[in-house]
Chains A and B, each alone.
Chain A
Amino acid sequence: MEYILIIISAVFVNNIVLTQFLGICPLLGVSKRISTALGMAGAVMFVMVLATIVTYLVQIYILIPLNIGYLQTISFILVIAALVQLVEIILKKVSPALYQALGVFLPLITTNCTILGVAILTIQREFNLMEGVVFALSNAVGFGLALFLFAGIREHLDLMNVPKALRGNPIALIVAGILAMAFMGFSGIV
């Protein structure tokens, strides 16, 4: 039951992109076509779950015993950067097909704030490892959902006659605002 609550809360009610404002850059950057949006979402899901597990272990077995909790930010970002590199190298060797699909997006992920954000939130909310994994997975699904919906709308937006000053990012932000309004309908469920 607890897991279901975490999932519904992270995917719909507190959607990481549309209500928490994390990962806006990929939302604006790679949402021009549905296929790239799905590729990005896949890469984020992969790295987010891995990063959450590793940073959780770093926090429990290194930072807390040594009493150096204030190094959390610096050590987490290093772990994430190293992990992304590692995933890239391993993927290239083990599964070239998957590397082809996700490859372009992997370097972008280091500076994607959803990864570091979810890793820190997992610690802040005092989840255990299993809950952390579920939390990361459902946040990645929420991220993918928002990106997918947004890309679908933007594909249609290309065909519309938008006023000149609003073209590009302004209209994309306004669309995201309306989408966020729709997601407000979920608030209060959990």
Chain B
Amino acid sequence: MNQWNNFTKGLLKENPTFVLVLGMCPTLGVSSSAINGLGMGLATTFVLFMSNLFVSLVKNGIPDKVRIPSYIVIIAAFVTVVELCMQAYTPGLFKSLGIFIPLIVVNCIVLGRAEAFASKNSVFSSMIDGLGMGLGFSLSLTVLGAIREFLGSGRIFGISVYPEDYGMLLFVLAPGAFLVLGFLMAIVNKINKA
């Protein structure tokens, strides 16, 4: 039961995007379509899961003073793995996510979970936490991407819903990202308060 709570807290109650407001750059940058958001979310989930696992494994061997640089090295290693895999197997997605893939290294969610959770908890709960947080991040990115894609070009996951001519291009461009995220956050605020 405890592990189940551990897993679900990332999805809504402590959702990294809407509640903790971490990792804003990739959230805004790659959410121009649902599929991009999902791809970025899953890549981050993998890095979060693996880095949480490894940080909790080696946490007792790392001197306190150098822990942050060591965590960053662990994270950067897994980001490189993701980068190379995506380049090989999903070149289209790799291209459209562009610079945001190497920038997973400096995504505050990953380092934040390593420092706040994995460095203090057991290996198994850290894995669960990483998975939950990663899926919460994927969920919010996909929702944001789907809304922007729907409003901007009349499609969801590339499937046409209404003619593209009626779409508001603004929502696919930069300002739309800020506006949609702002209003989504306000809605989540309202729900959590009630």
Contact = CB atoms under 8 A, between A and B. Distances in A.
Contacts of B72: 77-78, 81, 110
Q: What's the dominant secondary structure at chain B's contact region?
A: helix
A171 B182 contact: yes
Interface stretch (A20-28, A54-62, A89-97): A20-28
Interface stretch (B50-58, B98-106, B151-159): B98-106
A124 B73 CA distance: 22
Given A81-B72, A180-B178, A184-B173, A169 B80 contact: no
Interface stretch (A1-9, A37-45, A112-120, A132-140): A112-120
Contacts of A169: 21, 182, 185
A36 interface: no
Contacts of B167: none
A170 interface: yes
A189 to B, nearest CB: 16
Q: Of residues B173, B186, B193, which shows the largest number of chain A Cβ atoms within 10 Å of its Cβ?
A: B186
A117 B24 contact: no
Q: What's the dominant secondary structure at chain A's contact region?
A: helix
Interface stretch (A67-75, A98-106, A151-159): A67-75
B93 interface: no
A183 B106 CA distance: 26
B43 interface: no
Q: Of residues A19, A120, A166, A173, which shows the largest number of chain B Cβ atoms within 10 Å of its Cβ?
A: A173
Interface size class of A (residues with CB under 8 A): 35 or more
Contact of A70 (B22, B80, B178): B80
Contacts of B84: 70
A181 B175 CA distance: 5
A184 B24 contact: no
Given A19-B174, A74-B80, A24 B28 contact: yes
B65 to A, nearest CB: 11
Contacts of B106: 77, 110-113, 116
A125 to B, nearest CB: 11
A22 B83 CA distance: 19
Interface of A: 18-25, 28, 70-74, 77-78, 81, 110-113, 116-117, 120-121, 124, 163, 165-166, 169-174, 176-178, 180-181, 183-184
8 contacts: A21-B28, A28-B21, A77-B106, A111-B108, A116-B102, A120-B99, A174-B178, A177-B182
